[in-house]
Amino acid sequence: MIYNVSYVVLGGEHPGRMQSQESRPQVGEKMQLGDLVVEIVEVRELMPPMGDFVYLHATCRPAKAGREAQG
């Protein structure tokens, strides 16, 4: 499966990102978006899967200081 994910960062200070990836994002996962480490707080399906493609929306918040991104 290919996951097409819209990442949105709460607070509006980061533009977010659209990204295609091979693994589904998980709540609690930390990742690097540009110069900001974020934590995923919610993942929702935008529409039913189409073939090998899944369309998701992931809401993120800036991670607390001192925590590193995983992966």
Helical ranges in the chain per DSSP H: none
The pTM assigned to this predicted structure is: 0.85
H or E stretch at 48: strand 36-50
Q: 69 pLDDT exceeds 80?
A: no
Provide the phi-psi class of 70: left if phi over 0, else alpha when psi is between -120 and 50, else beta: beta
Q: Domain extents for the chain?
A: 2-62
| Cβ-contact 63, 24 below 8 angstroms | no
> Residues 3-60: pLDDT tens digits?
999 999 999 888 999 999 999 999 999 999 988 999 999 999 999 999 999 999 999 9
Please give the Cα distance from 47 to 39 (Å, whole number).
23
Please give the Cα distance from 68 to 5 (Å, whole number).
21
